[in-house]
A and B are shown apart, each in its own frame.
Chain A
Amino acid sequence: MTNHWIDIKNADSILIMGSNAAEHHPISFKWVLEAKDKGATVMHVDPKFSRTSARSDFHVPLRSGTDIAFLGGMIKYILENDAYFKEYVVEYTNASLIVGKDFGFSDGLFTGYDAKTRSYDKSKWGFEMDENGVPKRDKTLKNPRCVFQLMKKHYSRYGIDAVSSTTGVSAENLLKVYKTYAATGKPDKAGTVMYALGWTQHTVGVQNIRSAGIIQLLLGNIGVAGGGINALRGEPNVQGSTDHALLYHIIPGYMAMPHNGWQTYDDYNKANTPVSRDPMSANWWQNKPKYFTSLLKAWYGDSATQENGFCYELLPKVEKGEDYSYMYLFDRMYRNKIRGGIIIGLNPMNSIPNTNKVRKALDNLDWLVASELHHSETTDNWHRPGVDPKKVKTEVFLLPSAHRLEKEGSVTNSGRWLLWHYQVVPPAFEAKPFGDMFVGFMQRLKALYAKEGGTLPEAVLKLDYPDKYDSDELCARINGRFTRDTKVGDKLYKKGQLVPSFAALQADGSTSSLNWLYTGSFTEEDGNKAKRRDTAQTDMQKAIGLYPNWAWCWPVNRRVLYNRASVDLNGKPYNPAKAVIEWKDGKWVGDVPDGGWPPLATGKGKLPFIMTVHGTGQLYGPGRMDGPFSEHYEPVETPVNSNMFSKQLSSPVYKFMSSDMDKLAKPADPNYPIVLTTYNVTEHWCGGGETRNIPNLLEAEPQLYVEMSPELAQEKGIKNGDGVIVESIRGRVEAIAMVTIRMRPLKVHGRIIHEIGMPFCFGWTTPGTGDSTNRLTSWVGDPNTTIPEFKACCVNIRKADKLTELAT
């Protein structure tokens, strides 16, 4: 989230799209309702009527996978009705930048497309620079090659009729949402966008969010109270686990994973440190070498020296352009190229697409380590229904893991708040924290390498790895320490003392930090700030519920990101009643500003979007794999065979697999005419591996069901409560029919299209509840993130003669 949970109450308009917040982030919804009580309009745009819709001012059903068409229509509406916040757009976004001559767009494709490699040459999308290397601007926004004009042209194609026919949303409903939300384009109004997996899980997931980003920038809704782009995030510590990068493509603190093209420490820094010649741009990432070097110092300790490039050479380098995410991992496993691995706190045999393939792939492992609270479809895959364990070679190590109540440590919520949880009781039975497992085998490995040697033993032996799992001490390592006596300002810090802020991190090896974003969270002066429980606020902070003294938030306790965009060029808040920051008597008050420079009007200021090279909000985003503007493409499995906006039916760059088990239904396949979307319920958590083991939760939601409209039920001769079979080209699933007006038939391309919805929290290890819904979903992914398209695939449904997976 750019903002935080409580801040939702400051919104005048709330667009919930790609999320069912009331059900999946139930407590967050109290802040939505508080805004509503104060007069905010709450809108829910989602295929299914849910608890969120019930508490919204209105619900607008749309066909899954058509969000960009919907939002593209809104962008056109905002531009053509002059509903945008002009000063903000001119001063703080890249609307005025001139795009280079090579950029173009025609019939669904941007320039630079190579059909052979299914990829774009992004160098075609750059900006025009002046003789000093500063981007050329036209603040009148009249130049036909400026971002504003190109954007206007791009989205001019998203007229109400084409959008309505694509999304299945009536013209009346479209205009209702557009008008209400566009009203937040006034300086003293704010609108917030709340989204979750309903946006990310598409082959155009990133561009769904980009579309919302464009809208929020046009309306001046980023950086202000009650605004922002708010990824609700799903999992319990998914913000923290992303910051610390349990991901192949980055290392902690959002820095790129080294690849083979960057052979040395200097190569890495050169390639990864952006340069801006614009004196107005802070270009914050120019500090990257400081963060990267401090990370290497934290990883390799005294072994990391300037002379050896801080042990950079020992690090693994991925192959440039190669993808090592789930999709590719399981495909390689299926092809017998993976020997073993560790799966903890995760149930991929239930919760990732094309489950029939991944279950088979897992059989190919020699060894598997798992750490869980309960048995799951993953830990027990070797004796799943229909499989003879005597034929499965995998050696499985299943370790009982401690519950969060049974260990202490920190987690980070979606609003980037760093929160401490104390140990309430010791771990039950022989359970232990994941931390003990990592330290346990790493210490053993170090001993083995010291004794026996092996391949590249120094990569392991030189690690400065903790010898016991101690969360408080690790928080200090994450924050970072001085590795020698160092002066910061006029204060002398001794070797071993904590670094006070990331501004003090250095690229010379004098500091270490496991994650620069968290530097400042644990200081000599204040201790571990995750433990702070102080509700004190100034009146200004209280007016928006900022709570700056409760715990701590990254970066540098800044609660609202890009908050300098909430004030005018003189530092005066656009909305004084809900000011985030204000320039008063020569300093900023309120929240921690995005850099302490004085207001821009002084001539000494910097543009507010400090993490972008040019300092401006990116209406035009040339860094994405699939284009600098969003464009509607159909989901890969789609019930229609044409795209109203171009000849390009699906994304030209989506990722896919080609094994014999990766089948895809062809567009408008008469065998699979129905759109399936998947979701969860309040009572169960994701794949359900934990919550199915809690009797009261299982009792509340005991069995797999499929929601369908009365119209479809009648067409198929299905009654409420009937057992049914849902089938895609990849698999079949049993479910109980729930016939409900919550699902509406939609008029798309001039005919009726049905959509059905299913939760995915049930699995065979809880007998009689049903088994993985994801046996139906397809393994195609977004080109930027490789997040699979869970939310839209094509299926058929029929009454079952006999049920074997469900207790009846």
Chain B
Amino acid sequence: MPAKTRYSIFSLVRNAFSYHENWEEAWRSPEPRPEYDVIIVGGGGHGLATAYYLAKEHGITNVAVLEKGWIGGGNTGRNTTVVRSNYLWDESAHLYEHALKLWEGLSQELNFNVMFSQRGLLNLAHSPHEMRGLARRVYALNLNGIDSELLNLEQVRAMCPILNFSPKARYPIYGASLQRRGGVARHDAVAWGYARGADARGVDIIQNCEVTGFQISNGKVHGVETTRGTIRANKVGVVAAGHSSVLADLAGFRLPIQSHPLQAAVSEPVKPILDTVVMSGAVHVYVSQSDKGELVLGAGIDSYNSYSQRGSPKVVEDMFGALVELFPIFSRLKVLRTWGGIVDVCPDASPIIGRTPVEGLYFNCGWGTGGFKATPSSGWVFAHTIANDRPHPLNEAFGLERFSSGHLIDEHGAAAVAH
């Protein structure tokens, strides 16, 4: 495998002399080979990160990532990029915190600028009860050694003066929790950076290749059927987000997952006005400002099942309503566009990562509305699970078995609306 050019100021200058027309491609587009050691189904951030860590951490390089469309074209490229690790239970706190630590070095690790910006993240409380709920979460996080603090009204005002602090506000603000290490990142860059890094280590990234079935005999997987023919592998990892149930159906088992539309929007670009991320779980809106100046807004899920990548206007309307109540200053901004992705919602708002009833077949799904932030650790633990045929300590609690053992990891408070 030819080594990739390192991206740096020098390669930038060198390429300027040829008008940036001779940059090498960031990853190849090979024809699928008939057989691999491991096949990853789904070329989103999670699938690409899995392939990257399989190659880098476990030395397994004979790997293909099969993507039905283009890489990062699913939820990875549709999400609002909030990154944080302030989850309540130990299991989740450790999993998301591992991701946050990987985020902190990711641009260097991948030699690809993922534009990770730790601008801090506020969770607003609109009632004394909500304040107590946030306090409980902050204390739990602190016990786990994860940064998180409680802010009173004055501290919130100092940090984000454009919020509506009027005592007569429809959603009065009591305080907030703050995770200073939280923030946002560039979604596409995460997919592209992992793809480039995986490709450089020998992984084949194959786009426009939909998996349409599994080859299973005697309870073991031997390969997949695709729109580009049969490809053999004795280990297959599925990371298909909203399409997880469809693939589980093809493999003959059931998942506790429902696919729902989740919508987001951006405003027209304006000068810098919001230098942190603000979210309100109670009124279903969160907002940050992109480097281009657009406000990036997200809502809650549509209530019905769907695979259509679009939801109902009512949900976005409610989101805008909540936004202008919280930030009256935004009321005259125009909306540039809205869109939707299909998220895989799990009953306890926690992911499912591990083995399945089929030997050699592994699933990583159920990240629902909030898996972007976990991309690095999701790939990390899934690669470990596939390489060793058993979970990493960080994802041991996240197996499919928890639905019959009763050990659910209820993260509705941390995950439900605030992605």
A and B: partners?
no
Q: Which residues of B are at the interface with A, using a C-beta cutoff of 8 A?
A: none
